[in-house]
Amino acid sequence: MRHLQKMTVRVLIMRIELSRDEAEAVRTLLQERLLELDKEINRTDAFKYKARLQKLDRTIERVLGELKGALDHDHVPM
């Protein structure tokens, strides 16, 4: 007989209000961090450390995608 383990997943939904300038600054910071992170991922041979860095990389990419979408949606042509 097999026992199934229950898995609890918590999802945090957060709303942060930023001005366009603030959102662009956060985007720039995250883009710079991604470049540094990619270099670190390529330099490391430690499997567990590399896996954590790759997970962080995916998280930053997702947040950047959300920021890009918000900035694109907010863009008003002149």
**What number is the average pLDDT over the span 3-32?**
86
**What number is the average pLDDT over the span 40-63?**
96
Distance CA 60, CA 34 (A): 7
Amino acid, res. 23? A
Q: What are phi and psi for residue 50, nearest 5 degrees?
A: -60, -40
Report which of 5, 11, 19, 8 is spatially closest to residue 70, judged by C-alpha positions.
Answer: 19
Higher pLDDT, 69 or 10: 69
Answer whether residue 63 shows pLDDT above 60. Answer: yes
With H, G, I as helix, E, B as strand and everything else as coil, classify residue 37.
Answer: helix
Cβ pair 67, 25 in contact under 8 A: no
Higher pLDDT, 73 or 24: 24
**Domain range summary for the chain, segments of one domain joined by +:** 20-74
Q: pLDDT tens for residues 8-22?
A: 777 788 888 999 999
DSSP letter at 1 equals -
Answer whether residue 78 shows pLDDT above 50. Answer: no
